[in-house]
Amino acid sequence: MKLAGRCGLLCALICLCLEATAARAETDRPHRVVSMNVCTDQLAMLIADEGQLYSVSHLASDPLSSVMAQEARAFAVNHGQAEEIFLMKPDLVMAGTYTTRATVELLRRLGFRVEEFAPASSFEAIKGDIERIGALLGREERAAELVAELDDGLARLAALAPSGKIAASYSSNSYTTGAGTLADNVMKAAGVKNMGAEQGILGGARLPLEMLIVAQPDMVVRGTSDYGRPALAQENFVHPAFRAFAEERTVNVPENYWICGAPFTLEAAYILRQAAESKP
């Protein structure tokens, strides 16, 4: 009994010492990170070390917006509300620059460290975000790995000759994307011309169905979003004129690939490239 007790005590002491050394190396890096934006959620899941990320937003587990819905189940869920995040006692909060302004201000006043990320609209910005999160989490090596993979994929696409095909993105409520958007840069990477950008559209704009038909793009790029319940916003996809025109030209790119800029955004470029090559 006595011996066993001593052994146990000794073990415990050794363990404590080991933990202390390990902890010292990691004290300056955050170990209870909360992300409240679906884009930082996914980058954090890709970059963070085991046990470093504590909570992701509820959208991270929604397969319509998040590519990593499966992985997100392993983390606590937050809804981007200050009170909820306060109780999680994070040592680093990551947020988007757009949606949760008031919450971010409040969290800062409560003394939390909040890092904000603007939505990435180019592959350069994606790389920048990956490196920034790598530095914040003390995971520079992992970040460099992801950036190198992304560069690899982009280089492979750039090596191909431009397809010469014109694509128009057409989403709910007849919106199309023009220059300066992530979708535009993804199309460029895929060697496809973006009809919206060619027509001088900046950002997003409504493209009347008539104008889509008149412009005669080779490909009509739409998402595969199905929200379970209908809305008028998606009626443009069942309009007889749209169906007659776009039947042969539709390319489905799951929207979660390019809602957020991340390494997996390359997938959208691959899908577009493949479609461009298969269209006559």
Q: Which residues bind other proteins (CB under 8 A)?
A: 172-174, 205-206, 208-211, 213-214, 216, 227-236, 239-241, 244-245
For residues 111 and 240, which CB has a smaller minimum distance to other proteins in the complex? 240
Element (H, E) at 69: helix 69-72
For residues 112 and 258, which CB has a smaller minimum distance to other proteins in the complex? 258
For residues 46 and 207, which CB has a smaller minimum distance to other proteins in the complex? 207
For residues 121 and 234, which CB has a smaller minimum distance to other proteins in the complex? 234
Contacts of 102 (CB under 8 A, 6+ apart): 82
- Kindly report the length of the chain: 280
Give the shortest CB-174-to-other proteins separation in angstroms.
7
In b/e form, how buried is each residue of 146-183, taking b as 16+ CB within 10 angstroms? Answer: bbeebeebeeebeeeeebebbbbbbbbebebbbbebbb
Residue 231 to residues 205, 236, 238, Cα–Cα distance (Å)? 19, 10, 12
Residue with tokens 């009626």: 235
For residues 122 and 234, which CB has a smaller minimum distance to other proteins in the complex? 234
Give the shortest CB-64-to-other proteins separation in angstroms.
9
Give the shortest CB-207-to-other proteins separation in angstroms.
9
Residue with tokens 């010292």: 24
Contacts of 170 (CB under 8 A, 6+ apart): 176, 207, 212, 220, 221, 222, 236, 246
For residues 216 and 274, which CB has a smaller minimum distance to other proteins in the complex? 216
For residues 164 and 208, which CB has a smaller minimum distance to other proteins in the complex? 208
Residue with tokens 């950002």: 203
Helix pair angle (38-47, 140-159), 10° resolution: 110
Q: Tell me phi and psi for residue 179, to 5 degrees.
A: -65, 155
Give the shortest CB-180-to-other proteins separation in angstroms.
18
Give the shortest CB-230-to-other proteins separation in angstroms.
6
Give the shortest CB-259-to-other proteins separation in angstroms.
12
Separation between Cα atoms, residue 258 and residue 119, nearest integer Å: 11
Separation between Cα atoms, residue 78 and residue 83, nearest integer Å: 10
Give the shortest CB-205-to-other proteins separation in angstroms.
7
